[in-house]
Structure 1
Amino acid sequence: MSRQHWAEVFAAEATDSPDGSVTEHVRRYLATDGADGYLEGGATNLVLTTVGRTSGTLRRTGLFFGSDGDRYVLVASGSRPTETHPQWYRNLLVHPEVHIQVRGERLVARAHTAEGAERERLWRLMCELAPVYRTYYQPRTRRVIPVVVLDPLWRLT
């Protein structure tokens, strides 16, 4: 798909997270190009927009991220420990092209789930940035929490 196609797709209205605090965070972030919300809870945050796996609806959420070179790294832990993956992660498994906003920069990226040595390296990186992944989330679930890599395809702004 072309840059123009993705610019048009992601210019459409998105449905925000059902979690009111996440919706409020995302709206502050977008209204200020991240001046209010980029550093939230002491961590760097981005806004992720996915395409709903069955509905095709654009879905938007705010997430903590790390960097690996020019790639963005996410942990699919969810807002609380559960035995199921978060909706945003399940969406990108079906539709791996996503829109992200980092401060005022808007990009289209392709997502993939890190595996093997890549996952272990990036899991350690993310646990250094946010030890809560190792100390709180992973001990409270039997699932292996996915680590997601976002490879930028196009800058839209």
Structure 2
Amino acid sequence: MTLPIRHRHGSLMERGFPWHEPMTADFEDLFERMNRFLQSASLTPSLTETMNWAPLADMHETDDAYTVECELPGMKREDIDVEITERELCISGELKEREREGVLRRRGRPTGRFEYRALLPTDVKAEDVQATLSDGVLTVTIPKAKAAKPRHIEIQG
């Protein structure tokens, strides 16, 4: 039985990678152009200027409503804005950094402007939306419109 011949030209590290400075410069140029494109496509000059972070949130659905539970520890009601349209929920605000004594050694909690957006799958009753803030969790209950509720149709004979 004959085995295939393997030509050894050395490992990649010995030969050097096939790309060096010219190709990495091309990638850097491509990433810079994509970044400029994404910034120009957005409605605002820079994504980082409008939103620093998005809070953690869960959305679940029942037969009658959608419920969004959004974690906003340390926030006051006055610092949170909840807006709803027929198809979208937007929770936004700003968590101001508190004054501390001493030197901050580690940061794990976000501060600054935040925004959470969720598209709603069906039409909702925007005038009946309720929001409550308790123990650092904002709960927004969004009732479904009548047309969105499933209805059993009896078949006539």
Shared fold, TM over 0.5: no
Query: TM class by shorter-chain length?
Result: under 0.3
Structure having the higher Rg: 2
State TM-score, norm by structure 1. Answer: 0.23
More helix by share: 1
More strand by share: 1
State TM-score, norm by structure 2. Answer: 0.23
